[in-house]
Amino acid sequence: MLDAEAAAFLLRPGVSLAAATCDESNVPRIGRCVGCRVSKDRSSVTVLIASQQYQAFFEALRATRAIAVVCSLPSTHRTIQLKGSEAVIEPLARGDVDIVASFVDSFVIELASLGYPEDLARAYHWCDPTELRAVRFMPAAAFEQTPGPGAGAPLARSA
């Protein structure tokens, strides 16, 4: 289960999220996420990804169910990575479309603070809402990935 700090960071407005999996031949595939949920007890994390944009990612995920998710806040470079197995692909839950809208709005504000134009940040996250899928997994490990000598260290885990 995630510690409270890592869970809060995943949900922090303005973060950038991306997921990776690999297929049965150990070829990695990437899918960009446009939103995230964390269960109340912090035992599961759900990321929202457009299936038609990242078809190869979904095909590989169905085959191996292995997943890694990176979460980074551009203004501070704070970055963490979660890893899990047994990921499942689910339809959207109620409220997920609002989560995506709010995720993109926050990201636009974050990037604007760094001087990037709004239309760029929006186009970058554009997806067809009907294509969105929820990918749920139990984080088995979490790592610090902020650039610097501490990168790669496991995050302290709460019991």
Partner 1 sequence: MTITVDAIRACLEGVIPSTVATCAPDGTPNISYVSQVHYVDSAHVALTFQFFNKTHKNVLANPRAAVLAIDPQSAARFQLELEYLRTETEGPLFESMKAKLAGIASHTGMAGVFRLLGSDVYRVLGVTPVPGRKLPSPTPRRNLLASLRACSQVFERSADLSVLLEHLLAALEAQFDIRHAMVLMLDAPGERLYTVASRGYPQSGVGSEIALGCGVIGVAAQQKSPIRIMHMTAEYSYGRAIRESAERAGMGGHLETAIPLPGLADSRSQLAAPIVAAGRVLGVLYVESPEDQRFSYDDEDALVALAGQLGLAMRAMQETEDTHEPAGTLAGRQPLAKGAPVTVRHFAADDSVFIGDDYLIKGVAGAILCKLLADYARDGRTEFTNRELRLDPRIRLPDLSDNLEARLILLHRRLAERSGALLLEKTGRGRFRLCVNRPVQLVEVPRPG
Residues forming contacts to partner 1 in the complex (CB under 8 A) are: 16, 18-22, 26-30, 32, 52-54, 56, 64, 66-70, 72, 77, 79, 81, 83, 116, 119-120, 123-124, 126-127, 145, 147-149, 151-152
Taking the least distance from each CB to partner 1, the nearer of 92 and 116 is 116
Taking the least distance from each CB to partner 1, the nearer of 38 and 71 is 71
154, β-bridge pairs? 143
Residue 65 DSSP class: -
* Residue 140 tokens, joined: 């088995």
Taking the least distance from each CB to partner 1, the nearer of 8 and 126 is 126
Q: Determine how many CB atoms are found less than 10 A away from the CB of residue 54.
A: 23
* Residue 42 tokens, joined: 């912090």
Quote the least distance from Cβ 143 to partner 1, whole Å. 8
User: Distance between CA 103 and CA 9 in Å, rounded?
Assistant: 13
